[in-house]
Amino acid sequence: MNNAGWSLKSRGRSFRYAWQGITLLFRQPNACIHAAVTVVVLICGLWLGLKAWEWCVVALCIGCVLMAEGFNTAIETLADRVSTDYDEKVGKCKDLAAGAVLLMVMAAVVAGLIIFLPKFYGKYVEYFGPIF
């Protein structure tokens, strides 16, 4: 690895490019949906008083979903640049990337249900009494 080009200025440029990538990501409709769900999850987590380990799981799930969406967007953008005409293999690549996002979202939903459902039930019992 050649470190001749390493400098604080070059690292600063790298972070600026990464930040540009984040802003590009949130111009995508699906990323905006993920962001809106994130806000709801964070508000619910504050209201329900999540424990530190639960916040860690929530943070990792949010980060993984957004990361998957970023990779999906990058693959789709590159694929559209490589082939403007319909190409079955390019289509499969885009489908695989979108499927990976969906799998991560489903895993995050399962983790969220495991964390949040008992807490919502506890709040329900607190306000209305037990269901059974």
Query: 32-117 — its CATH code?
Result: 1.10.287.3610
- List all residues 6 or more positions away from 54 whose beta carbon is below 8 Å from its beta carbon: 45, 115
What is the reported pLDDT for 50?
98
Q: Comparing 1-10, 16-25, 77-86, which segment has the lowest mean pLDDT? A: 1-10
Residue with tokens 């953008």: 77
pLDDT tens digits, residue range 13-60?
899 999 999 999 999 999 999 999 999 999 999 999 999 999 999 999
Is pTM beyond 0.85 here? yes
Which pair of structure tokens corresponds to residue 111? 């983790």
**Where are the chain's structural domains?**
32-117
- Cα distance between the two ends of the chain: 64
Sign of CA dihedral 3, 8, 11, 17: negative
